[in-house]
């Protein structure tokens, strides 16, 4: 039973380029969460999605960032016109419909470096 | 506001016991979670408390007091591989969203 799959594991982008981060939830999980972790900082919530729906995007920056979880395929976190401050580890987590007391299962993360 | 506080760093000796404290203020409460994160890796789930009291799981135990907004993670018989960051997380705004503390970096010395 594969866990949460994120790719790429490492991503280098020049300032102004676009970054696309992918996340495939665990089998049977219908809820996806994206978190960002800056060096020496805690995990910061960005967005919570179910299939074809954004449930909570209160942590998403107002510009340049978007997320989707289509009916088919992985969830995508898209960052347009990246800047140096976007360099961070981006973690995706998934949970079943009823999260209960199991919390999230996290993917291994995508480490974005903007040069 | 919503806030989760925990110490930044702790050091302990192999074989000893260490307690990592966490205080929280969240707008909603769906339980208190502890995660372990080794450097460069994903956080992994350790424990969950929703009722007051102590939950024991092998070498790791977690305690919750809802009236005090307080939790701790207790690690016994420390091993070198326990050197990691320990993240406290609590219920946030939406039903699924968790708010994380900045993590406590634990160093286990021989």
- Å between A38 CA and nearest CA of chain B: 10
Closest chain A CA to residue B38: A108
Q: Do B97 and A105 touch (CB under 8 A)?
A: no
Q: How far apart are CA A109 and CA B61, in angstroms?
A: 27
pLDDT, tens only, A42-65: 899 999 999 889 988 989 999 999
Tokens of A75: 């969830």
Which residue is closest to A59 within chain B, CA to CA?
A: B97
Q: How many CB pairs under 8 A join A and B?
A: 63
Of B42, B96, B102, the CB nearest to A106: B42
Of B41, B89, B96, the CB nearest to A95: B96
> What is the residue-averaged pLDDT of chain A?
91
Cα A1 to Cα A5, A22, A25, A44, B35: the distances in Å are 11, 19, 11, 28, 21
Taking only the tens place, the pLDDT of each residue in A77-108 is 999 999 999 999 999 999 887 555 567 889 99
Per-residue DSSP letters for A41-106?
S-EEEEEEEETTEEEE-TTS-SSSEEEE--SSS-EEEEE-S--GGG-EEEEEEEE-SS-TTS--EE
Which of B43, B85, B88, B101 has the most A C-beta neighbours within 10 Å, making it the best mutation to test the interface with A? B43
A2 touches chain B (CB under 8 A): no
pLDDT at A39 (0 to 100): 79
pLDDT 10s digits, B38-83: 988 899 999 989 899 999 989 999 999 999 999 999 999 999 999 9
Q: What confidence category does residue B99 fall into, taking pLDDT thresholds of 50, 70 and 90?
A: confident
Q: What is the predicted pLDDT for the residue at A10?
A: 97
- The proportion of chain B whose per-residue pLDDT surpasses 90, expressed as a percent, equals 72
- Does A109 reach chain B within 8 Å, measured CB to CB? yes
- pLDDT, mean of residues A69-83: 96
């Amino acid at each position: 039973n594969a866990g949460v799959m994120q790719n790429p594991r490492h991503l280098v982008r020049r300032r102004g380029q676009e970054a696309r981060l992918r996340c495939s939830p665990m089998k049977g999980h219908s809820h996806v969460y994206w978190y960002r972790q800056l060096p020496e900082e805690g995990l910061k919530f960005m967005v919570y999605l179910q299939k074809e729906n954004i449930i909570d995007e209160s942590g998403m920056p107002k510009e340049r960032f978007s997320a989707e979880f289509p009916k088919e395929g992985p969830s995508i976190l898209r960052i347009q016109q990246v800047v140096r401050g976007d360099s961070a580890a981006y973690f995706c987590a998934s949970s079943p419909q009823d999260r209960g007391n199991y919390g999230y299962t996290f993917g291994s993360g995508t480490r974005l470096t903007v040069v | 506001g919503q806030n989760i506080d925990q110490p930044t760093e702790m050091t302990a000796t192999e074989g000893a016991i260490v307690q990592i404290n966490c205080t929280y203020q969240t707008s909603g409460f769906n339980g208190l979670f502890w995660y372990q994160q080794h450097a460069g890796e994903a956080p992994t789930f350790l424990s969950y408390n929703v009722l007051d009291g102590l939950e024991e799981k092998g070498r790791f135990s977690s305690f919750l007091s809802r009236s005090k907004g307080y939790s701790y993670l207790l690690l016994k018989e420390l091993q070198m591989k326990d050197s990691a960051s320990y993240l406290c997380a609590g219920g946030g705004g939406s039903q699924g969203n968790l708010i994380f503390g900045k993590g406590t970096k634990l160093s286990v010395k021989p």
